[in-house]
Amino acid sequence: MNNSVNEASITEIEKALASSRIALPDGTVVPGVGQGTWCIGDDASRRSEEVKALRLGIELGMKLIDTAEMYGEGRSETVVGEAVRGIRDKVFLVSKVYPHNAGLKRIAKSCEDSLKRLRTDHLDLYLLHWRGSVPLEETVQGMERLVEQGKIARWGVSNFDTDDMKELSRLARGTHCVTNQVLYHLGSRGIEFDLLPWQRERQMPIMAYSPLAQAGALRKGLVQNAAVKAIAAAHGASPLQILLAWCVREGDVIAIPKASSREHVLQNAAAGLIRLSADELRQLDEAFPGPARKMPLDII
């Protein structure tokens, strides 16, 4: 393998991604690094580039694609639908339902609308985007009906904190939830105090959105940190690649970074080659300590 991550061959990248796979509670295996699509589809002039980027990611092994009816009010799903056309069977497709559409009167239509935009007859995973006013028991019932109808293969939640997950697990069939998608990156480690351990005990992986942090002051602080920059230089990688490698370091967190260009897709995929040493992880812990107490769930 090359010393420089970004000089690695496509074959090396593919092998690294293929070896980084995570099992859901039902035994289904998914890539440890997938593709997020928040804001994809918002600029019509970039549609072709975004479709090509998603397809490249699929070819490299980032075959889990996450989207939502909320993203661009369906525009993201439409772009994803174009990207997976002809290769749907190679993709693990995830979408999310608005909380106000998660009751028995609306969830079936929301799911059907998403399927039409995605040009498919089923979702591999359907998530409740965040908790709203609809009783959890009703949402679980709606999800289970969709499973019975073959519209979705399995379901999960997003933006649920520990108490929410405990409440969900006490419901009839609430334990059928296979994942919880939450914000998680080096600068946002609150879930490590209780939510991440709780899910690990149940072998239910976290799906981390915004694993590179959102663009702005927080991301700037992360990528300009001396420890992050030094570790990146040692691996011949970029600071953002170190952030992604850190996020999936334990092998039980699914990261879904967004990439809307070929260059970004290749950089995200190449991060799969990085194995952080114990000393490097210690340095990052010192620079960005984990939580010492319960923290509110970060939500974007």
State the catalytic residues. Answer: 71
Contact (Cβ atoms closer than 8 angstroms) between residue 256 and residue 209: yes
Q: If we measure between CA atoms, which residue out of 163, 195, 190 comes closest to residue 179?
A: 195
Q: How many residues does the chain have?
A: 300
